[in-house]
């Protein structure tokens, strides 16, 4: 198991490092976490977010942390505690238990695994991962637009200078 000597406590957020993204779970105690998984029961937990992107649905599951993590690295990451007040642990666990085996909508940018566990811990779904993806996409689109405008302007200048050259020759 790829753990990094973290010692989770009930109610802690667990960040799991997948190849291209981070998967999030909430530690329930006794080695168990709650997390969103693809609706397809046959899909392995490692493909959680990838499969859910296409189905737009996920199922909340209580699973052993070691099964969800597999060989990936993970750690306790309650990073939002700096800006959000966590609910009392008993309340977090009670709320989490109500979600087990329920189907939930899934959207990688607006309602992903990180949103789900932060909603349980803080009462508000937050995801830096989604925010950064949106900001990156916005910057990329903005960059493409700027490059396109620059190309159009340069093309216009080059066309104008060609006309000028013809006029004087």
- CA 94/CA 139 separation, integer angstroms: 40
Q: Is 113 a catalytic residue?
A: yes
Q: How far from chain centre, in Å, is Cα 7?
A: 23
DSSP category for residue 110? T
Helix (H, G, I), strand (E, B), or coil: what is residue 102?
A: coil
- CA 160/CA 85 separation, integer angstroms: 61
C-beta of residue 118 within 8 angstroms of C-beta of residue 124: yes
> Per DSSP, what are the bridge partners of residue 61?
35
Selected catalytic residue, list 75, 113, 115, 169: 113
Q: Is 23 a catalytic residue?
A: yes
Residues taking part in catalysis: 23, 113
């Amino acid at each position: 198991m790829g753990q990094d000597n973290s010692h989770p406590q009930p109610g802690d957020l667990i960040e799991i490092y997948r190849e291209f993204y981070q998967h999030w779970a909430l530690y329930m105690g006794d080695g168990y976490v709650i997390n969103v998984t693809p609706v397809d029961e046959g899909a392995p937990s490692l493909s959680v977010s990838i499969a859910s992107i296409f189905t737009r649905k996920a199922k909340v599951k209580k699973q052993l942390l070691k099964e969800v993590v597999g060989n990936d690295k993970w750690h306790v990451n309650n990073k939002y505690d700096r800006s959000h007040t966590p609910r009392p642990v008993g309340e977090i666990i009670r709320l989490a238990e109500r979600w087990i085996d329920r189907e939930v909508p899934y959207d990688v940018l607006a309602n992903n695994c990180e949103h789900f566990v932060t909603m349980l811990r803080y009462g508000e779904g937050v995801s830096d991962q989604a925010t950064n993806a949106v900001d990156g996409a916005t910057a990329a689109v903005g960059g493409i637009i700027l490059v396109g405008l620059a190309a159009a302007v340069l093309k216009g200048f080059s066309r104008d200078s060609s006309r000028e050259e013809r006029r004087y020759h």
